[in-house]
Amino acid sequence: MALTQILTTLALLLHVAGILAAMHAVMHTRTPQGAFAWVLGLSLLPYVTLIPYLYLGRSHFSGYVSLHRTHRQRLRQASPRDEPTGTPESCMRYDALAQMLHGTFHPGQELQLLIDGDATFDAIFKAIAQAEQCILVQFFIFHDDQLGRRMQHALLERASAGVRVFVLFDGIGSHALPKHYVETLQQGGVAIHSFDTRRHSNRFQLNFRNHRKIVVVDGHVGFLGGLNVGDEYLGLKPPLAPWRDTHLQLSGPAVFDLQRSFAEDWHWVTGELPPLLSPLAAHGSAYTLIAPTGPADPQESCSLFFTVAINAATQRLWLTSPYFVPDQAVLSALRLAVMRGVDVRVLIPSRPDHHAVFLASTLHAYDAIEAGIRIFRYQPGFVHQKVILIDDDTACVGSMNLDNRSFRLNFEIGALSVDRAFAEAVERMLIEDFDKAVEITRDEYRNAAYPRRLAMHVARLFDPIL
């Protein structure tokens, strides 16, 4: 009898806690769909959903938002003043993005497309080896493996030569990074910290991860894109190998905006600012807008970034993403592009790295095909690149995925460049990728066994937290 009373009391307390958590979800979840999903689960099945809500439920934070916006304004005022203001005519169809991000299409950028891990890290290590003043490094993931130790040695060597080195990593993305890896860098004179949106880390919080990948050397050369620091990004870890990914190297005034994005995150963690060095003079042909997005922005900036980019397409829109879980705004923009006669293609993986996301992506792909969007699965290995090609003059390389985490929960960064020569290089790269892909049809979903189709629909219910 006593045991029955204890269990009854525990069940009652769980339901009360579930109702309180559901009230919190109503007040704080960013989207009505997400709020409804949490309320339903917390009210009816608190035994199952309370613990996940501790990890995934928080969608607002005040301290970071206020400081982020204050210091973004301060850093914006510190930007170089010798550039022309306003959006150039060739970039006017993206002017809404520049306005939303308070950014600038910097003229004269020199761009180099870096295809896959070897090319990317060869270029990064070459730049680091030539550093004389300052190195800024930010990745979502650091691993203590062959590539991770190579990065560690490269940074320690420059620190020993008197170069100031600053490193940020995400505490959840790099959860497996051993303490001695960080301590070795600290002892060698490298300033290194874990990013969190709260000064006091909450081990129950998985939202608001810093998914950006940034390297800046001496304020002159910058890198961003999809790759992290780990052997799998060099294609050395089956079953996802070979790993298909893309990074971007740039020089010119836009590099200052990469420094500024890093500085905002660094200031939040440390209360200090790293050096902000003047970029090289502009000698290239590209106009580039650096687009840092995240949940601290007044608008849902990443979702809007995709929406504006898609709406700008008049002839061609090719996208690649490891995850295809678009929200309604992005999916509607893709459908409208098809109706305008735009050649819309999306390249996604044929192998899963996260099974729930893969199932949801498969169902979204079916819906997209129904709307006339062409979906391709990359065959050789896992495709992780985040690239957009618009018409014959615009391309974006960055860290942004086509999913709700990138749209609303993660800090991301991309570089949108208007330049025919660079767009042609991206086109050549993507043509090779599509040649190694298989276009899927409605039959992928229709011929799947009923339990698998049911699993797809269940997985899609969790779109807001995937």
Interatomic CA distance for residues 294 and 209, integer angstroms = 9
Choice among 384, 403, 433, 463 that is catalytic: 384
Q: Active site includes 391? A: yes
Cβ atoms of residues 141 and 147 within 8 Å: no
Interatomic CA distance for residues 373 and 339, integer angstroms = 10
**pLDDT tens by residue, 281-308:** 888 999 999 999 998 888 899 999 999 9
pLDDT of residue 203: 46
Q: Active site includes 145? A: no
**pLDDT tens by residue, 223-253:** 999 999 999 999 999 999 999 999 999 999 9
Interatomic CA distance for residues 263 and 269, integer angstroms = 10
Of the pLDDT bands very low, low, confident and very high (cuts 50, 70, 90), residue 184 is very high
Q: Active site includes 353? A: no
> Per the structure block, which two tokens stand in for 448?
């799947």
Choice among 386, 393, 419, 433 that is catalytic: 386
Q: Which CATH architecture has domain 62-91+108-286?
A: 2-Layer Sandwich (3.30)
pLDDT of residue 111: 98
Is the pLDDT assigned to residue 446 strictly greater than 70?
yes
Q: Active site includes 443? A: no
Choice among 391, 393, 403, 419 that is catalytic: 391
Choice among 211, 220, 247, 364 that is catalytic: 211
Is the pLDDT assigned to residue 115 strictly greater than 70?
yes
The fold of the 301-465 domain, in CATH, is: Endonuclease; Chain A (3.30.870)
Interatomic CA distance for residues 30 and 11, integer angstroms = 29
Among 368, 327, 462, 360, CA closest to 38 = 462
Is the pLDDT assigned to residue 204 strictly greater than 50?
no
Choice among 213, 220, 267, 364 that is catalytic: 213
How many CA atoms within 13 Å lie on the side-chain side of 294? 24
Interatomic CA distance for residues 423 and 46, integer angstroms = 50
Question: Mean pLDDT throughout 104-112?
Answer: 96
Q: Active site includes 68? A: no
Q: Active site includes 384? A: yes
Are 62-91+108-286 and 301-465 in the same CATH fold? yes
Pseudo-torsion of CA 232, 141, 128, 116, nearest 10°? 40
Choice among 170, 218, 265, 403 that is catalytic: 218
Domain ranges of the chain: 2-56, 62-91+108-286, 301-465
Is the pLDDT assigned to residue 53 strictly greater than 90?
no
Q: Which residue has the tokens 């950014």?
A: 103
